[in-house]
Structure 1
Amino acid sequence: MAAKPKLYYSNTRGRMESVHWLLPAAGVEYEEVLFRTAEDFENLIKGGKLTYQQVPMVEMDGMYMVQTRVILKYIAAKYDLYGKDLKERALINMYTDAISDLMFLTRESYLKPPEEKEKEIKVILEKAKSRYFSVFEKVLKNPGQDYLVGNKFSWADIHLLEFILMAEELCATALSEFPLLQAFKTRISNIPTIKKFLQPGSQRKPPPDDHYVTTVRKILQF
């Protein structure tokens, strides 16, 4: 029996969170190796397995993988969540890259002073609605289009749902102008593996708060 993947990261939502989503969506159980102090992180570096001395790192199939996009692409391809051909993979990459940009901006906003954070979140949500949600709403207008690519469940659907729920944590009405995305959210959330992951007690991390900011800065020392 193959060993469970191991996820090396702090006990916070961050760049690893999309991996926390993708593995359960594929029905894969995993273990976490959490570091809670700067010393824990330094010991991981000293172990010699952390390429570039940066996390996230996933131990899987005999590899110690870093770089979030590499990790996600590997998992998506391994579990048939990455399209059937190069064209579908290009679309999945295009959608997930755009969503990742929004996620990065959102995570960075949490590290800013309160007055800057509030302004930045408004800008991010407006950008999400005007430049991204509108695109995905248009994609879903195609007859019988239940999923974003190839009308088959893929990494792109998982990534979009992750950001939708992130946006709704910031603004409950984020999808009010997008009825097809609302239906998409309901549909994808009810896929059994994802529904299980969304239940209390899963390995999904809570929204960032002041403790998150303090923890990240303490561990990574910035």
Structure 2
Amino acid sequence: MSGKPKLHYFNGRGRMESIRWLLAAAGVEFEECFLETKDDLTKLQKDGSLLFQQVPMVEMDGMKMVQTRAILSYIAAKYNLYGKDLKERALIDMYVEAVIDLNELLMTHTFQPADKKEQHFATIVDKATNRYFPVYEKVLKDHGQDFLVGNRLSRADVQLLETLLMAEECKPDILVKFPLLQVIEWTLNGQ
């Protein structure tokens, strides 16, 4: 199982998307193994590849890793995207956990019943613009760097960028009141 990491997931963003983004930020080529039928998933479950019987699953460094956060932590640590010390890792984890909370709201919007979509969208916009984005804006301002933690790219920056772009898909002007988030998005997206 050496060579390129193999990503096992459905042909869609979902929980695999952050893994794709982090590998891309690290400059790591990977192979996608899309589960196209229920039988594809069942085969992985029956052959023991899925420890908890669910995907995403990443084959890498002789392991069959499951659980998105564990996979992301491994990739971040392996490719030096996880801070220089425990304090930086704690900050990165803190920022990432909040990004994941917002990302979950964004990911589940598509699956809302038609009569709940408008309220769900309002909740996304409210939490993004009143809870999450102001914090990241303040962190960037107080830190005075181009990155959330330290002076180099980390897992937190990559996952924040992914979520910012998803939020803009829902509401293109959602970052209008957050100039530092606009700068980090422009800077990281241009790399």
TM-score, with normalisation over the residues of structure 2?
Answer: 0.96
Give 1:142 shift: 3.1
Matched with 1:118 is 118
Partner SS for 2:34: strand
Q: Which moved more, 1:31-40 or 1:88-97?
A: 31-40
Give 1:41 shift: 1.0
Consecutive unaligned residues of structure 1, counting only runs of 5 or more, are 192-222
With CA pairs under 8 Å and 6+ residues apart, which has the higher RCO, 1 or 2?
1
Matched with 1:70 is 70
Matched with 2:154 is 154
Matched with 1:51 is 51
4+ long deviations beyond 4 Å: none
Aligned ranges for residues 1-222 of structure 1 at < 5 Å? 2-142=2-142, 144-191=144-191
Q: How far apart are the structure 1 equivalents of 2:14 and 2:149?
A: 26
Deviations 1:184-216 (A, max 9, x none): 11011111xxxxxxxxxxxxxxxxxxxxxxxxx
CA contact (8 A) 2:168 2:174 kept: yes
Give 1:115 shift: 2.5
Consecutive unaligned residues of structure 2, counting only runs of 5 or more, are none
Give 1:118 shift: 2.5
Q: How far apart are the structure 1 equivalents of 2:14 and 2:38?
A: 16
Q: How many residues align?
A: 191
Structure 2 vs 1, CA of residues 41 and 143 (structure 1 numbering), >3 Å: closer, same or farther?
Answer: closer
Q: How far apart are the structure 1 equivalents of 2:158 and 2:72?
A: 11
CA contact (8 A) 2:58 2:71 kept: yes
Structure 2 vs 1, CA of residues 9 and 144 (structure 1 numbering), >3 Å: closer, same or farther?
Answer: same
Partner SS for 2:69: helix
Give 1:57 shift: 0.4
Give 1:143 shift: 6.4
Deviations 1:58-77 (A, max 9, x none): 00000000000000000000
Q: How far apart are the structure 2 equivalents of 1:154 and 1:117?
A: 33
Partner SS for 2:14: coil
Give 1:43 shift: 1.3
Deviations 1:123-162 (A, max 9, x none): 0121011111001111111364110001211110000000
CA contact (8 A) 2:99 2:163 kept: yes
Q: How far apart are the structure 2 equivalents of 1:89 and 1:184?
A: 20
Give 1:107 shift: 1.4
Q: How far apart are the structure 2 equivalents of 1:121 and 1:145?
A: 32
* Aligned partner letter, 1:157: D
Give 1:105 shift: 1.9
Cα RMSD of the aligned pairs, angstroms, is 1.3
Q: How far apart are the structure 2 equivalents of 1:163 and 1:118?
A: 20
Identity level (%):
57
